[in-house]
Structure 1
Amino acid sequence: MKKFKIIEKVCKTEKNHMKYRRVGMFGTFVLFVVTTFFSSNIYAEEGGKESGWTIGADNKKTLYVAHWTHTPENCPGRSADGAKMLSKFWEGRKLAEEKGITILGAYVTVTEHDYFIIFEAIDYGAAVEFFLPLVPSQTGKIVPVLTMDEWLKIMPK
């Protein structure tokens, strides 16, 4: 008898939870519909956007450090295909220069399987495009940096 009452209480509790879930879902749906249909201008118009936040708008180049790495098993030096991929990537710097990328330095830590490439670019998208040949076998990141002199000018004192 006791077990039956416990089961009955559990069932009532679950029914209440389901009822509240339905009410919550319905409320969310109503809020979505109201927001969608009665807020027709929820996006900023072109004149209403903040100015000065367009990346590369002033044609000033940003300085980046790219760090790419791979496992010893994925090392391009271990196969003809890997060497071909790396050569093709590095030949792409001519096209990258046409797209506004200036490579300032490129370094390899042979025993650590890392590449460090320092470059300037106006367009981040062009920089990403330049590194695409590395993506299938390498892991990397492209980080915007400042020179120490630039940092010292803007650093809080």
Structure 2
Amino acid sequence: MLFIATLDHTPDNCWARPENEEKAREWIAGMDRTAEQAGVEVHGSYVTPNEHRFYFVLEADTFEAVTAFLGPPLLHDHDAHVAPVLTFGEAERTLLEE
């Protein structure tokens, strides 16, 4: 199942701030290992620095696997919206089956 995760943080809690850089480097360096341990495949990870927002395109069997991948510390430092998504092709097939 595919998920889109959008995580927002305040400028005061930005991981680019000097007091947060070490935490950010550690999480990014361990991201692949954390994903593997959680059973998550990362299809994309993006940041919009001016908006203080992260985006992830993730594949996992469960929502719990996604939350295991994201936090802590991400889910402690960010407001998150995680939603399962379908491709347009999958949605079309679902509609045609009804």
TM-score scaled by structure 1? 0.55
Q: For residues 9-54 of structure 1, what are the alpha-carbon distances to aligned partners after superposition, in whole Å with 9 as ceiling and x for unaligned?
A: xxxxxxxxxxxxxxxxxxxxxxxxxxxxxxxxxxxxxxxxxxxxxx
Give the conservation status (yes or no) of the 8 Å contact 2:40–2:59: yes
Q: Structure 1: which 5+ residue stretches go unaligned?
A: 1-61
Superposed displacement of residue 137, structure 1: 1.8
Give the share of equivalent positions with the same residue, in percent: 29
Match of 1:146 in 2: 86
CA distance in 2, matches of 1:113, 1:94: 24
Q: Structure 2: which 5+ residue stretches go unaligned?
A: none
CA distance in 2, matches of 1:130, 1:88: 14
Highest CA radius of gyration, 1 or 2? 1
Amino acid corresponding to residue 83 of structure 1 in structure 2: E
Name which of 73, 76, 80 aligns with 1:136: 76
Superposed displacement of residue 154, structure 1: 1.3
The DSSP-based 3-state class of the residue aligned with 1:77 is coil
Amino acid corresponding to residue 24 of structure 2 in structure 1: L
Aligned residues: 95
More strand by share: 2
Match of 1:104 in 2: 43
Q: Which moved more, 1:123-132 or 1:108-117?
A: 123-132
CA distance in 2, matches of 1:72, 1:102: 29
CA distance in 2, matches of 1:88, 1:141: 23
Give the conservation status (yes or no) of the 8 Å contact 1:64–1:145: yes
Larger RCO (CA under 8 A, 6+ residues apart): 2
TM-score scaled by structure 2? 0.84
